[in-house]
Amino acid sequence: MKEQLDLLIRQVDDRQDELIGLLERLIQFRTPAPPARNTEEAQQFIASFLQDKGFAIDKWDVYPGDPNVVGVLKGQAGDTYKSLIINGHVDVAEVNEDEPWEKEPFTPIVRDGVIIGRGASDMKGGLAGALFAIQLLHEAGIELPGDLTFQSVIGEEVGEAGTLECCKRGYSADFAVVVDTSDLHIQGQGGVITGWITVKSKQTFHDATRKSMIHPGGKLFGANAIEKMMKVIQGLQELERHWAVMKSYPGYAPGTNTINPAVIEGGRHAAFIADECRLWITVHFYPNETYEQVAKEIEAHILQVAEGDIWLRENPPQFEWGGSSMIEDRGEIFPSLEVDANHSAVLTLMSSHESVVREQAIVDVSPTVTDGGWFGDAGIPAAIYGPGDLQNAHAVNEQVSIEQLIHFTKVILKFIYEWGHTRK
C-alpha cells in the first residue's frame, strides 16, 4: 500500500507539466461571475474528464448556461469504508476591461514558478490538482473501497449556491473537502448573510406638508422614511459594537463580526416626503453562530429601537434575509463552518499534509467565505483546503505558485487514497 502510494506521489513531480497543462486548460474557459451563465463548456469538459475515469455523471442546470456537475465513483465496499466529497466552484471573479493585466486574463502565463490567469488561485488550481490526483489513481488501476464524489459547482462568486443544490439533491458523505483558496491551511470559516431592512409609511405626503409634520401644532402624524432609517442605522451600529465587546472566536481579531450598511435606497422625488427607505446590509458572523441566529438578534434589537420612536412604533421596520443570487435577487447566504481538529478525516488530512510538505499542518479559520458552510449546514463534516492565497484571489494578474499546486496535488492524492481505505 505504502509503496504504491509513494510511487503515485512521485508521479506528480515527474508529470508536473501535465498538471500545469490541465490548469491552463481550465483557466482558458471564460467563466467570470458576473456576468455568469457561461460555465456550460467548462462543466462539460470536467464531466467528460470524470466519465473517462469511471465516474457516473449527474449534470443539471442550476441556471440556464450554468450547470452543476457531480461525478460519483462507487467504492468496492462503500458500506464499510469512508466516503468523501471533493468540492470546488468553476466560476471565477469578474474582470473589468480597464484592469492592467500582463496578458489577456484567460490566456494563462507560466513563468518564474507561477501560473498567471483569472482563476489560478480562486479556485481552478484546486480543481486541477484534485482532478489530476483522480487521474493518477485511475491510471494506476486503484479502486478505492470507499465512495468518492467530485462536485464541480457554479455560482460561488455571486452567492449562487451550487453546493447547496448538491446537498438538496441528496449528495452526502462522511467528509467533504472544499478545495478553495486556503494557502494549504485546513480551515473553517465564519458566515455571511445579506439582508434588506425597509422603513415604509402607510401614507404618502406632498413635501409641502413637512412643516405640519415636524413643527408645533401641525397635527399631522407622519415622517420621512429616510430620516427614520437614520435611527435604524444608529441601532445597527450599537449592536455591532455590543457584538465586538461580547463575542469572540479563536483565530479572529476582535470585532470581525460586523454589520455593514452597504446600500441605501429611498424616496420618490423632491416633491414628496420620502415614504419608503430600504437599507441593504451585509452581516459577518462567527463559525459557532448560524445565519438564522444573527438575523433574529438584529431583528429583535431593531424592533426594540423602533419601540422607542413614536412613529416607528406604528410603522415598524420590515426584514428580508438572504437570497439565492446576488445577480437574480440581490441577496446571498454563506453559512459558517466549524472544523473539528480531532475529527478522524481532519487528522488524516493533517498527516497527509505533513508527510508531503514536511511542515506542521495549520488548522485555522478563513478570513473570507466559501461554499464549505453549506456542508456544515447539511450536517456533513467538512474543511477547506486548497492552493492559492487571498492576496491573489480576485486580483489583477491572479496567480498560483507551481510548487504549492504540486504540494496540494500530492496531499489530496494521499488523502483521497487513505480516507477511501478507512473503515467506517
Which helix (H) or strand (E) segment is 279 a member of? strand 276-285
The Cα–Cα gap between 292 and 67 comes to 28
Say whether both 79 and 157 belong to one domain.
Answer: yes
Across residues 18-39, what is the average pLDDT?
A: 98
Whether cis (ω within 30° of 0) applies to the bond prior to 287 is no
390-396 average pLDDT score:
95
269 phi-psi bin (left φ>0, alpha ψ -120 to 50, beta other): beta
Q: Per-residue pLDDT averaged across 360-365, rounded?
A: 98
Mean per-residue pLDDT, 312-338: 96
184 and 94 housed in the same domain: yes
Give the span between the Cα atoms of 122 and 181, in whole angstroms: 6
Active-site annotation, residues: 91, 156
**Whose grid coordinates read 434589537?**
301
Residue numbers of the domain that contains 371: 2-189+337-420
CA separation for the pair 55, 41 (Å, rounded): 19
Query: 50 and 170: one domain?
Result: yes
237 shares its domain with 165: no
- Whole-number Å distance between alpha carbons of 175 and 143: 19
Tell me the pLDDT of the chain averaged across its residues.
Answer: 97
- Tell me the sheet residues that pair with 423: 81
| Residue 35 maps to a domain | yes
Residue 2 confidence class, pLDDT cut points 50, 70, 90: confident
> Are 266 and 160 contained in the same domain?
no
- pLDDT band at residue 3 using 50, 70 and 90 as cut-offs: confident
Last residue of a domain, one of 258, 289, 321: 321
Both 134 and 86 in one domain: the answer is yes
75 and 177 assigned to the same domain? yes
Same domain, 169 and 270: no
In a domain, 276, yes or no: yes
Pairing outcome for strands 186-189 and 363-366: parallel
In percent, the amount of the chain with pLDDT more than 70 equals: 100
Q: Tell whether 250 and 156 lie within a shared domain.
A: no
Which residue do the cell numbers 448556461 mark?
65
The answer to whether position 105 is within a domain reads yes
Q: Between 402-420 and 125-139, two packed helices, what is the crossing angle to 10 degrees? A: 50
pLDDT at 67 over 90: yes
- Please give the Cα distance from 179 to 148 (Å, whole number): 15
What are the pLDDT digits (tens) for 208-262? 999 999 999 999 999 999 999 999 999 999 999 999 999 999 999 999 999 999 9
Contact 264, 280 (CB under 8 A): yes
Bridge partners, 276 (sequence order): 200
* Domain containing residue 245: CATH number: 3.30.70.360
Domain end (from 263, 294, 321): 321
Residue length of the chain: 424
Neighbouring C-beta atoms of residue 355, cutoff 10 Å: 15
pLDDT reported for residue 148 = 98
Q: Is residue 328 part of a domain?
A: no
CB contact at 8 A, 177 and 412: yes
Residue 179 is part of a domain; what is its CATH number? 3.40.630.10
In this predicted model, what pLDDT tens digit does every residue of 265-279 receive, in sequence order?
999 999 999 999 999
86 and 184 together in one domain: yes
User: Residue for cell digits 412604533?
Assistant: 313
pLDDT, residue 173, reads 98
Helix (H, G, I), strand (E, B) or coil at 94: coil
pLDDT digits over 365-384, tens only? 999 999 999 999 999 999 99
φ, ψ at 330 (rounded to 5°)? 55, 55
pLDDT higher than 80, residue 161? yes
Q: Is the peptide bond before 123 cis (omega within 30 degrees of 0)?
A: yes
332 falls within a domain: no
Residue 121 has pLDDT above 90, yes or no: yes
Residue 4 pLDDT grade (very low, low, confident, very high; cuts 50, 70, 90) = confident
Q: What is the pTM of this model?
A: 0.95
What is d(CA 237, CA 234) in angstroms, rounded to the nearest whole number? 5
pLDDT at 249: 97
Identify whether 326 is part of a domain.
no
Give yes or no: residues 159 and 277 share one domain.
no
Phi, psi of 86, deg, nearest 5:
-105, 125
Number of domains into which the chain is organized:
2
Residue 78 lies in a domain: yes
Q: What is the pLDDT of residue 135?
A: 98
- 196 with 185, same domain? no
Nine-digit cell string for 94: 469578474
Q: Out of 289, 321, 353, pick the residue that ends a domain.
A: 321
Check if the beta carbon of residue 202 is closer than 8 Å to that of residue 264. no
The model's pLDDT over 291-303, given as tens digits with 9 standing for 90+, comes to 999 999 999 999 9
Helix, strand, or coil (residue 353): helix
Residue type present at position 180: D
Give the whole-angstrom CA distance, residue 87 versus residue 68: 11
Is position 306 within any domain? yes
